[in-house]
Amino acid sequence: MKNHKRNIFTFMLAILAISATIFVACSKDDGELPVVVTAEVTDVTHDSAISGGTITDDGGMNITAMGVVWSTSDNPTVSDHYTSDGDYTIDGVTEREFTSHLGGLNDETLYYVRAYAANEEGVAYGETMTFETELAGNIVHELTPDMVEAWTQEPTEGPYENLLDGDPSTYWHSAWSSGVEPLPHWIQITFEAEERIGGFSYTFRQPSGIGDRPNHFDLQVSDNGTDWTTVWESQPDLPVEPVDEVQEMVFGENFTSRYFRIRILDTYGSGSWTHLSTIEVFEVRE
């Protein structure tokens, strides 16, 4: 009887052992899709952005690929644009957060992006995020009258505020009737905080005498609004015709400061005063 009970007990242990083996085998063989969370989209420009994701569950199998997919249609897949941001194994890399750089985008376009992760079971996707790329070109800084002053200023006509109204039929005029000072004359801009300036555009007074039109500029910056350093100078004898076209000066780099002076060094007629209709300053996208 004891032997019989012992045989039954031994048989039950064997069954349990076999069951455990089958359970482990099934656990290893029957994997699931991974779980991935899409990261927020940041650093959006006119042609690029940054996203990424976090894999929170590998599905019990090695991750073979991860990245993001994007498209101009909802729910993009790996059949659309995608990044390949590496892989990891269960016993390998433990960091499961990744960053993805999206490039070659079109400006002013709405995009859909989501993270993906793949294992032997297939490809899984995170939630879809949307973002819109910026307009390509220069970033124009809005200027208000309290940010601008001019030296010199003609008291009888052409206040410097006219430079900011976008209307080529109005104009600023430096002093000619009293308080006349030799060139250079300048337009000073003071920002609330540091800004980047990579160039400016302007229009001549319309109509105007050709001799008073500016044809030579430089740019000065200051740390305190008192001490100035020249950081750029245009070529001399710039074109002064046609009078109704927008002229653009690009410095070749963006300068950072709170204080800027755009100085008019010479005019076409080498006179003692000058004028302009409009002016804009901008940062050049890099």
Average pLDDT over residues 144-166: 97
Within this chain, do residues 116 and 231 fall inside the same structural domain, yes or no? no
Nearest Cα to Cα of residue 272 among 228, 189, 233, 214? 214
Residue 30's pLDDT band (boundaries 50, 70, 90)? low
158 and 113 housed in the same domain: no
CATH number at residue 117: 2.60.40.10
Whether 12 is covered by a domain: the verdict is: no
pTM of the model: 0.61
Where among 132, 153, 171 does a domain terminate?
132
Please give the tally of structural domains in the chain.
2
- Do 145 and 275 reside in the same domain of the chain? yes
pLDDT tens-digit readout, 214-246: 999 999 999 999 999 999 999 999 999 999 999
CB-based burial, 159-172: b 16+ in 10 Å, e otherwise: ebebbbeeebebbb
Residue 57 pairs in a beta bridge with 35
Backbone Cα Rg of the chain? 34
- Give the model's confidence band at 22: pLDDT under 50 very low, under 70 low, under 90 confident, else very high: very low
What distance, in Å, lies between the first and last C-alpha atoms of the chain?
Answer: 90
Q: Do the domain assignments include residue 17?
A: no
- What CA–CA distance (Å, rounded) separates 237 from 268? 7
Residue 91: domain span = 35-132
Cis peptide leading into 207, omega within 30 of 0? yes
Same domain, 125 and 144: no
Which of 54-63, 142-151, 154-163, 175-184 is the least confident region?
54-63
Tokens for 86, please give them. 């590496």
Examine residue 26 and state whether it is found in any structural domain, yes or no: no
More confident residue, 164 or 27: 164
Q: Residues 233, 109: one domain? A: no
Residue 267 and residue 156 share a domain: yes
- Where does the chain have alpha helices with state H? 2-29
Which whole number is the average pLDDT over 83-94? 70
The answer to whether residues 215 and 183 belong to one domain is yes
Predicted pLDDT of residue 199: 98
Whether the Cβ atoms of residue 49 and residue 131 lie closer than 8 Å to each other? yes
- 178: CATH: 2.60.120.260
Closest CA to 88 of 98, 78, 80: 98
- Assign 23 to helix, strand or coil: helix
Does one domain contain both 222 and 120? Answer: no
End position of a domain, from candidates 79, 97, 132 = 132
Q: Does some domain include residue 215?
A: yes
Considering the domain boundaries, does residue 15 fall inside one? no
* Distance between CA atoms of residues 155 and 83, nearest Å: 62
Confidence tier at 41 by pLDDT (50, 70, 90): very high
Regarding whether 157 and 104 lie in a shared domain, the answer is: no
* Residues 205/275, Cβ–Cβ less than 8 Å: yes
194 token code pair: 């540091």
Q: Would residue 219 count as lying in a domain?
A: yes
Mean pLDDT of 4-28: 40
Residue 13 in domain? no
150, 244: one domain = yes
How far lies 56's CA from each of 42, 49, 113, 124, in Å?
Answer: 21, 23, 18, 12
Of how many residues is the chain composed? 286
Q: Are 249 and 235 in contact (CB under 8 A)?
A: no
| CB of 151 closer than 8 Å to CB of 63 | no
Same domain, residue pair 233 and 151 = yes
Query: At residue 108, does pLDDT exceed 50?
Result: yes
* Exposure b/e, 37-56, CB count within 10 A at least 16 = b: ebbebeebeebebbbbbbbe
| pLDDT of residue 29 exceeding 70 | no
Domain boundary among 132, 155, 170: 132
pLDDT number for residue 90? 59
128: in domain: yes
275 and 148, same domain (yes or no): yes
3-state secondary structure of 126: coil
Contact predicate 219/232, CB 8 Å: yes
State the Cα–Cα distance between residues 61 and 117, nearest whole angstrom.
11
